[in-house]
Amino acid sequence: MALKIVKGSIDRMFDKNLQDLVRGIRNHKEDEAKYISTCIDEIKQELKQDNIAVKANAVCKLTYLQMLGYDVSWAAFNIVEVMSSSKFTYKRIGYLAASQCFHESTDVIMLTTNQIRKDLSSPNQYDTGVALTGLSCFVTPDLARDLANDIMTLMSHTKPYIRKKAVLIMYKVFLKYPESLRPAFPRLKEKLEDPDPGVQSAAVNVICELARRNPKNYLSLAPLFFKLMTSSTNNWVLIKIIKLFGALTPLEPRLGKKLIEPLTNLIHRKIHIFSSHKMLCSQSHLIVSLSRIAVLISLSSGMPNHSASIQVMKYLGLLAMSKILKTHPKSVQSHKDLILQCLDDKDESIRLRALDLLYGMVSKKNLMEIVKKLMLHVDKAEGTTYRDELLTKIIDICSQSNYQYITNFEWYISILVELTRLEGTRHGHLIASQMLDVAIRVRAIRVFAVAQMATLLDNAHLLTGNMQRMGICEVLYAAAWICGEFSEHLENPMQTLEAMLRPKVATLPGHIQAVYVQNAAKLFATVLKNQEGNTDSTAAQETSQLMIDRLPLFVQSANLEVQERASCILQLVKYIQKLQQKDVEVAEEVCALFAGELNPVAPKAQKKVPVPEGLDLDAWINEPPSESESEDEQPKAIFAKEEPKHSRPRHTEVDEKELARRREARKQEQANNPFYIKASPSSQKAYQEAPGVEHIPVVQIDLSVPLKVPGLPMSDQYVKLEEERRQKERADKKKKEKKKRKEKRSGRGRKHDSGPESEEDITPAHMVDIVTEEMPEVHRSCLNITMNLKGNARTNMISAKGAVSSYVVSGGIFLPVKSSKHKKKKQKKEKEEKEKKKKKKHHHHHHHSDGGGEESVQNGTVEEEEPLPVSVYDIQGNLQDGSQVVVSVIFENKCDSFLKSMEFNVLDSLNSKLQRPEGSGPHDGLTVPFQLPPGVSNEARFVFTVQSIVMPQKLKGTLTFIVKNEDSSTHEKLDFKLHFTCTSYLITTPCYSDAFAKLLESGDLKCSSVRLEGVIMPFHHLLARICFHHHFSVVERIDSCASMYSRSIQGHHVCLLVKTSGQTVSIDAKCDEPTLLGNVLDEIKQTFSQC
Amino acid sequence: MIKAILIFNNHGKPRLSKFYEHYNEDTEQQIIRETFHLVSKRDENVCNFLEGGMLIGGSDYKLIYRHYATLYFVFCVDSSESELGILDLIQVFVETLDKCFENVCELDLIFHVDKVHNILAEMVMGGMVLETNMNEIITQVDAQNKMEKSEVMCFVTFINQCPCLDICSMQGHCFAFHTASASR
């Protein structure tokens, strides 16, 4: 009796083993979940028992439940308990459960380390084996680190069974604990030649996986593998080795050649011996027997019975081809027919593979044909995945390499429209983006596209009807936008407008409605324009009424965007209506709302916008928080190190490019300067319209910004015209190209275009600035110089130094604009006639700049009667008033005529203004208060107010005068430029060395530096030169090193440290105004580049 | 690498699932359902390879499957595995099951999923193919089963030789039972 009870209880205990559980679940089909939950309760009870057998049984059942999708992580600890059982049966159950449900974030895993280690060293090989198998599934970085050594020892275990498992698990260990790879690798390599094929195979397996991640480390093993390949008979090993070689051959081309022979042997052997042709897919990397694959495919497709194994071959053949396609597209293209045939295969996998290949098959000739075929498939295809795949493939194929293969965009648009008829595709947005892309980029197609889109909008009820949720309605987004944006091409804009304002539109997703509303407004503008032209005011009013009637629907929309746009436009239309009722013509103004064309922007356009000089994007805006304080306390190097920080990496070689770059930067700076007027919107606009689609906004920035000065001097305008012309030319050129390419507009082309474009941009800039380049020479010559302006007329340039007070700053000259050859073409046309005349007479004018003034002797003889006064000027800062600069001009009459009524006038810029007597207008000239008899010179002073002194600038001016001879008098005019260098704003100020040191330490000053190469002059000359030309004073001089100081009229401190070694002079500078400093340094550099 | 091995029947009931990468239980079920959906649609006479499947997919992965009577055997593998090799492996797996269960049928897999796991463990370890030689696999599986049987035999004889257990000691019997068998 007792025994019976015991037996019964034990039975009950075990009545639910795994089989019973499964049976139970099968018997409770209706309330499976409930049954399982009671089972789980039982299992929980069982797990509370001390008996390991009961626990093991419970864990076994849990493993099954886990497979059914029940979370069993709560039993993780019990699983560990069962794992640690001494009995193999239970241990195996425990490890199985662990491998099924443990993962890296299971916390009890760390409890298992010692248990696993014990099992690994167990005398029973199956204990070890089971532990390895389990570990392979749930190894964590910690476990890998702790157990790597134990596993490595096992790699040399006496039993092959253990060895092979240990070798294999090493891969997992490497993954989790990469440091173990180095010590373990020699042993792993050893195992490649293990006598047991299983171990060998495992080692090959591991090395293959490793090589997949980083092939080049395993090149050295190639000979070993080569031997294995020729000797091994194990298919699995061979497959893996060939896969490995597949990864290695790209790195070592010689390997490929060597492999051909053994591989072909292998393939022959395998094809004949094994029905499964294992090598086929693997060898594809090696491109050895493409023809064989093709033959296989053709064989298999030619076979009448499509048995599965044949299909397998076909699939693998196509797979291999797709790999070959990447490297040898030509060889695959020759099998085009075969591949197209595969498109008709009943097997979806094969069709998909063939589709992949199609991508490489298309050409201009066959694109339409192929796509037509695909469209047929689209119609036939059932199942959305395949159809979606087809759709994306069609679009991929057509749009690849920027529509390279499309010869007829009308065709493409119709294909896209046809694709919208597909029911339930997910790719509405893809079609939409293609439509937008093509319509925007291919200008010629717009008329057609707009017509198509209008039809699409008209039939919108088809689209919105049943498949709104499927995303095809995205197409309407594109349609609405295209119709709105290019509404001028619409045949019947009114009809489209009505279509867009249908009440049904309100069922569309919000973002599409928003586009509808916005573009309805655009259409409205177009319609109004048309109707007002017809002098039929009622029609226009009706249109407004239509808008007012329909828009409230959108105003009520739940979507904020729609609501906002709708209410905005509604109010606008109401206002328009009011105006209309007063018979005011509004169409023009309404159109102006949407005027302007949207142009595509190259993806990398942003990169081309230069970072303005002096703007360091990495710099802190505020001082970095307190950590750096300690650093601040350390004594700082007074001057920056040799290498400049960011702005001027190559200062020493002042080549053209560098100059151009700097000029560009300076212009940019001017553009950012609030004192300069920026490009007016109107001219921007003109730019946009002129050059067409290729025009990239960046270019506009480059071109339009620097030239804007109020009262734009004519030459500059000319420059602008020139640039525009250039642009047009470029556009024309491109159009020609475009024609050549049969309307193919490619982004690559554009990218390509924009490259040279930006380079070309430098050239015009160069042209504009050519005067600047002459500047330095002129500048240098300003000391003593006579300057020839016009044949008989000459300027005697007298150094202002002596004449003016000690703070005289800089010398300069009138720069005769006309004398520059380059300038001529930039003059305004109206002046050209006059100029030509002069040019004839004074063809040698351009000589003036070469070699400075002393050469003027050449014109000692007076050839012509026409006299001109000429002048020297000197700009001096006014110390009393930081914003005033005095320009002393010396006029000398070198001709034989009497000069009178001289008027001096300068075109003011925002930054600098000529001070005129009160009551005179801003464009009036100043009368020079003297007359000049022949051979006489006199000085006049003009005061300018300057706002910002951080940048050099030029002012254009004219001097008009009357030349009086005995018998006649003529009115003459001389154009000149005043160059305000930054140096001219500096005032020589003495400074003591202690004050100097204090200044440097104050930390307010920004560093910059410059290097001058090839300066061959004594150091003291050099210093004198800097002092003289740039108004510095020497603070201290020690051997070949000197510190210098100067102050600007606005009180900026400028400190220099000049060092010389050999022919190299390095100037480190500090100033509290980095821009000013940069410009001063540039000027210093230019001074020395003349030597 | 093999990412997952799934066996399910014609109705999509899972008979074995082995993931070599961790997913939570819900995701696993979803993968099984989806894979079944993909595989079951396909005709008999088409190739055994299938791309796609959102969860287990990714361009590098593909499904390689075989259909035997009522069961689908599906392997999800990445590109380092040979397609034909895996097809062969499935064949080896099934033949091994056939040998171990003597004319295997779905019921064997239903009731002895642990044994199927044990057999699989001898073939694939942590996602890598361990052994493809059927004889070797069977030898190892048999040896382990023998070990298990010997342990179970101990246990059964122990129960039969235990007449002295009474009701009072029932509460503690498991413990006694355990220590006794352990001491043996």
pLDDT tens digits, A91-101? 999 999 999 88
pLDDT of residue B93: 92
A412-416: long-range pairs with CB below 8 Å, 24+: A412/A438, A413/A438, A413/A439, A413/A445, A413/A448, A413/A449, A413/A452, A414/A452, A415/A371, A415/A375
CB atoms within 10 A of CB A445: 20
The dihedral region occupied by A852, where left means phi > 0, alpha psi between -120 and 50, and beta the remainder, is left
Question: B73 vs chain A: nearest CA distance in angstroms?
Answer: 16
At A894 the pLDDT is: 75
- Mode of pairing for the β-strands spanning A926-927 and A953-964: unpaired
Percent of chain A with pLDDT over 70: 66
Across B110-118, average pLDDT? 90
Q: B155 in contact with A at a CB cutoff of 8 Å?
A: yes
pLDDT at A243 over 90: no
pLDDT at A709: 32
Phi, psi of A954 (to 5 degrees): -125, 145
Name the 3-class secondary structure at A1008. Answer: strand
Do A955 and A918 touch, CB atoms closer than 8 A? no
For A787, which DSSP code?
A: E
Cβ separation A60–B148 shorter than 8 A? no
Q: How far is A9 from chain B (nearest CA, A)?
A: 8
Contact flag A349-B125 (C-beta cutoff 8 Å): no
Instruction: Measure the CA–CA gap between A981 and A614, rounded to whole angstroms.
Output: 19
Range scoring the smallest mean pLDDT among A123-127, A552-556, A898-902: A898-902
Lowest-pLDDT range of A375-384, A713-722, A822-831: A822-831
Q: Does B182 touch chain A (CB under 8 A)?
A: yes
pLDDT for res A390: 82
Give, in order, the Cα–Cα distances in Å from A488 to each of A481, A529, A542, A956, B152: 13, 10, 20, 45, 90
Q: Which residues of A touch B1 (CB under 8 A)?
A: 209
Chain A hits for B163, CB-CB cut-off 8 Å, are 3
Lowest mean pLDDT: which of A100-104, A120-124, A768-772?
A768-772
B37 touches A: beta carbon within 8 Å:
no
Q: Do B165 and A6 touch (CB under 8 A)?
A: yes
pLDDT of residue A729: 56
Please list the residues that pair with A134 across neighbouring strands. Answer: none
Find, in chain A, the residue whose alpha carbon is nearest to that of B20.
Answer: A137
What are phi and psi for residue B127, nearest 5 degrees?
Answer: 90, 0
Residues sharing a CB contact under 8 Å with residue A661, sequence separation 6 or more, in sequence order: none
Give A43-54 pLDDT, tens digit per residue.
888 888 888 888
Which regions of A291-445 does DSSP assign to beta strands (E)?
none
B125/A53 Cβ within 8 A: no
Question: A96 and B80 in contact by Cβ < 8 A?
Answer: no
Report chain B residues whose CB lies below 8 A from the CB of A93: 114
Q: Which of A246-250, A575-579, A794-798, B7-11 has the highest mean pLDDT?
A: B7-11
pLDDT of residue A726: 54
Per the document, the length of chain B is: 184
Interface contact flag, A136 B125, Cβ < 8 Å: yes
Contact status, residue A670 vs residue A631, Cβ threshold 8 Å: no
State pTM to two decimals.
0.54
pLDDT > 80? residue A174: yes
Residue A936 has pLDDT above 80, yes or no: no
Residue B117, chain A, CB below 8 Å: the answer is yes
Residue B135, pLDDT > 80, answer yes
Task: Report the alpha-carbon distance of residue A251 to residue A229 in Å, rounded.
Answer: 19
Task: Give the DSSP per-residue string, A939-1006.
Answer: EEEEEEEES--SS-EEEEEEEEEEEE-SS-EEEEEEEEEEEE-SGGGEE-----HHHHHHHHHTS-PE
Is residue B73 scored above 90 in pLDDT? yes
Mean pLDDT of B79-108: 87
Read off the pLDDT of residues A181-206 as tens digits, 9 standing for 90 and up.
888 888 888 888 888 888 888 998 89
Residues A148, A184: contact at Cβ < 8 Å? yes
Q: Is beta strand A815-816 parallel, antiparallel or unpaired with respect to A969-980? A: antiparallel
Contact A23 B111 (CB under 8 A): yes
Look at residue B5 in the predicted model and tell me its pLDDT: 92
Q: Flag if B50 and A3 touch (Cβ within 8 Å).
A: no
Whole-angstrom Cα distance, residue A681 to residue A13?
90
- Per-residue confidence (pLDDT) for residue A308, from 0 to 100: 56
User: Rounded mean pLDDT of B85-113?
Assistant: 89
**Average pLDDT rounded to a whole number, residues B59-74:** 87
Q: What is the model's pLDDT at position A242?
A: 77
What is residue A882's predicted lDDT score, i.e. its pLDDT? Answer: 65
Residue A145 pairs with which residues in a beta bridge?
none
- From the list A164, A168, A277, which residue is nearest B84 (CB)? A277
pLDDT surpasses 80 at A1045:
yes
Judged on CB neighbours under 10 Å (0-12, 13-18, 19+), A553 is middle
Is B47 touching A (CB cutoff 8 A)?
Answer: yes
Whether residue A415 is predicted with pLDDT greater than 50 in this model: the reply is yes
Residue scoring higher pLDDT (A759 or A726):
A726
Residues of A whose CB is below 8 A from B144: 88, 92, 126
Q: Is the pLDDT higher at A548 or at A892?
A: A548
> Residue B125 and residue A88: Cβ atoms within 8 Å?
no
B148 touches chain A (CB under 8 A): yes
Report helix, strand or coil for A195. Answer: coil
Using one digit for the tens of pLDDT, what is the confidence trace for A584-612?
777 777 788 887 776 667 777 777 777 77
**B164 or A330: which leads in pLDDT:** A330
pLDDT confidence of A784, banded at 50, 70, 90? very low
Looking at chain A, the whole-number percentage of residues with pLDDT higher than 90 is 2
Q: Is B132 in the A-facing interface, judged by CB distances under 8 Å? A: yes
Q: Inter-chain contact B174–A54, Cβ cutoff 8 Å? A: yes
User: Strand, helix or coil at A797?
Assistant: coil
Grade residue A647 by pLDDT with cuts at 50, 70 and 90: very low
- What number of other Cβ atoms are within 10 A of residue A27's Cβ? 10
Lowest mean pLDDT among A159-173, A514-528, A1025-1039, B43-57: B43-57
* pLDDT tier for residue A1068 given thresholds of 50, 70 and 90: confident
Asked if B174 reaches chain A (Cβ–Cβ under 8 Å), the answer is yes
**B180 shares contact with chain A (CB less than 8 Å):** no
Q: Is the pLDDT of residue A763 over 70?
A: no
> B46 and A308 in contact by Cβ < 8 A?
yes
CB-nearest partner of B20 from A137, A209, A312:
A137
Helix (H) or strand (E) holding B97: helix B83-101
Q: What's the mean pLDDT in A1053-1074? A: 84
Nearest to B174 among A50, A197, A383 (CB): A50
CB A348 to CB B42 under 8 A? yes
Confidence of residue B72 (pLDDT cuts 50, 70, 90): very high
Chain B residues in contact with A201 (beta carbon < 8 A): 129, 131-132
d(CA A961, CA A902): 4
Element spanning A892, H or E: strand A884-893
Q: What is the pLDDT confidence band of residue B74, given thresholds at 50, 70 and 90?
A: very high
Tell me: pLDDT of A657 over 70: no
The torsion region of residue A1031 among left (phi > 0), alpha (psi -120 to 50) and beta comes to: left
Q: Who wins on pLDDT, A314 or A415?
A: A415
Q: Residue A839: what pLDDT? A: 38
pLDDT at A312: 74
**Nearest-CA residue of chain A relative to B180?**
A51
Q: Which residues of chain A neighbour B116 with C-beta distances below 8 Å?
A: none
Most confident of A4-13, A113-122, A769-778, A790-799: A113-122
- Give me the amino acid identity at B85: G
Q: Using a CB–CB cutoff of 8 Å, tell me whether B160 touches chain A.
A: no
Q: A6 to chain B, minimum CA–CA distance in Å?
A: 7
